[in-house]
């Protein structure tokens, strides 16, 4: 069964299509315009696993398609990679009638969307996310960008895809680590917006990590609905959409400090959400029992909850002070008041942050 979710925007509304083995269904090709030229942007790993098969299917239907493959990993989410993709587009004489296809995880989606937004002042792109993290979060909402060595996602644009095609079948080829990493963003939605969803995750975690199809479909659909609603209400992140960054200020600091090599994105954000929740507890916002329940859920999905041992509290502050959410030099954090509700808090005292990080080195 195929599910369809609309992302209603003022100018560029689009659909999210969710199902199993969508590429084997004939109506899949209705999403493509035979008069357009397509470029599949992927990584070397996926090129071997899936891309050649998809390219053959598309070519068989008379769809013109080129391929640009890049190295796999967050460390390659850079201006250097963007320059390489643009050079390849120019060599192949692609113009404004060309359409990019982001085929991969969050890194591929972010880079492809960014290139689409700047190439010849903007061309169309399609998201085909292949990881759980990208299916429930990164592929939806039009945030694009690349990293700078001084901070994550510091260079980017808002550029919405034409469509997001989510085939849950790809999740069955993920490593356990990659799969668990994606559940970090799933848990984020439940803590930030939906207590009932949090309770559902507590009950269904075994079915989810074992990829039981019915539970998996419900989970991904639920996350996409939440993300679509938030983006439709606040496309350019003026207020409500910032709630989606729960845990990301701490998490991005961890990723930047470790040069994107030690942790997957979801793993770093998992630690970030624990640190943000502990900050909330210290400030008297979050009940201790609720904190323990949050920690327990992350453990159920085999996610890390302790900060890297070699990263000092002051190392966090260096990167956190560069966070995009900060205003007038004041630290802003997204913190949970309770399970199912987060808020933005301005001018958090640095001593509080330092004490939370120090205490987190102890056994949680």
- Report the DSSP beta bridge partners of residue 40: 67, 101
Given the residues 121, 238, 261, 351, the one annotated as active site: 121
Are 138 and 129 in contact by the 8 Å Cβ rule? The answer is yes
Beta strand pairing call for 3-7 and 37-43: unpaired
185 among known catalytic residues: yes
Q: Rounded to whole angstroms, what are the CA distances from 266 to 157, 183, 221, 236, 251?
A: 22, 8, 19, 23, 9
Given the residues 241, 278, 290, 332, the one annotated as active site: 241
143 among known catalytic residues: yes
Given the residues 88, 178, 235, 237, the one annotated as active site: 237
255 among known catalytic residues: no
248 among known catalytic residues: yes
Cα(133)–Cα(170) distance, integer angstroms: 12
241 among known catalytic residues: yes
Residue 216: count of CB within 10 angstroms of its CB: 21
Beta strand extents in 87-150 (DSSP E only): 98-104, 124-129, 143-148
Given the residues 178, 185, 235, 267, the one annotated as active site: 185
Q: What are phi and psi of 360, to 5 degrees?
A: -75, -15
239 among known catalytic residues: no
Given the residues 94, 188, 222, 265, the one annotated as active site: 265
Given the residues 77, 227, 278, 290, the one annotated as active site: 227
Given the residues 77, 94, 143, 332, the one annotated as active site: 143
Cα(344)–Cα(241) distance, integer angstroms: 11
245 among known catalytic residues: yes
302 among known catalytic residues: no
List, by residue number, the catalytic residues.
121, 143, 185, 227, 237, 241, 245, 248, 252, 265
């Amino acid at each position: 069964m195929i599910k369809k979710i609309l992302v209603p925007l003022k100018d560029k509304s689009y659909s999210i299509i969710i199902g199993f083995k969508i590429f084997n269904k004939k109506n899949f090709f209705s999403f493509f315009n035979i008069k357009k030229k397509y470029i599949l942007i992927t990584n070397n790993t996926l090129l071997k696993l899936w891309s050649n098969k998809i390219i053959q299917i598309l070519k068989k239907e008379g769809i013109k398609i080129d391929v640009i493959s890049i190295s796999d990993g967050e460390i390659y989410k850079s201006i250097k990679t963007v320059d390489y993709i643009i050079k390849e587009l120019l060599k192949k004489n692609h113009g404004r009638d060309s359409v990019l296809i982001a085929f991969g995880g969050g890194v591929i989606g972010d880079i492809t969307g960014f290139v689409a937004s700047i190439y010849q002042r903007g061309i169309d792109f399609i998201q085909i996310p292949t990881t759980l993290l990208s299916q429930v979060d990164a592929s939806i909402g039009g945030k694009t960008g690349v990293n700078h060595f001084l901070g994550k996602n510091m260079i980017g644009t808002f550029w919405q895809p034409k469509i997001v095609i989510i085939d849950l079948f790809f999740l069955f080829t993920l490593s356990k680590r990659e799969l668990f990493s994606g559940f970090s963003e799933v848990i984020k939605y439940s803590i930030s917006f939906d207590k009932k969803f949090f309770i559902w995750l507590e009950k269904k975690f075994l079915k989810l990590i074992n990829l039981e199809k019915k539970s998996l479909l419900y989970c991904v659909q639920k996350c996409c609905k939440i993300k679509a609603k938030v983006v439709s209400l606040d496309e350019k992140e003026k207020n409500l959409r910032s709630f989606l960054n729960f845990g990301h200020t701490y998490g991005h600091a961890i990723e930047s400090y470790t040069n994107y090599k030690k942790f997957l994105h979801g793993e770093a954000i998992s630690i970030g959400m624990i640190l943000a929740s502990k900050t909330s507890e210290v400030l008297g916002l979050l009940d201790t029992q609720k904190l323990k329940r949050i920690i327990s859920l992350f453990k159920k999905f085999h996610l890390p909850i302790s900060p890297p041992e070699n990263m000092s509290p002051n190392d966090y502050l260096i990167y956190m002070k560069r966070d995009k959410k900060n205003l007038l030099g004041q630290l802003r954090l997204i913190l949970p008041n309770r399970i199912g509700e987060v808020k933005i808090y301005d001018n958090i005292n640095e001593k509080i942050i330092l004490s939370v990080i120090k205490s987190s080195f102890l056994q949680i």
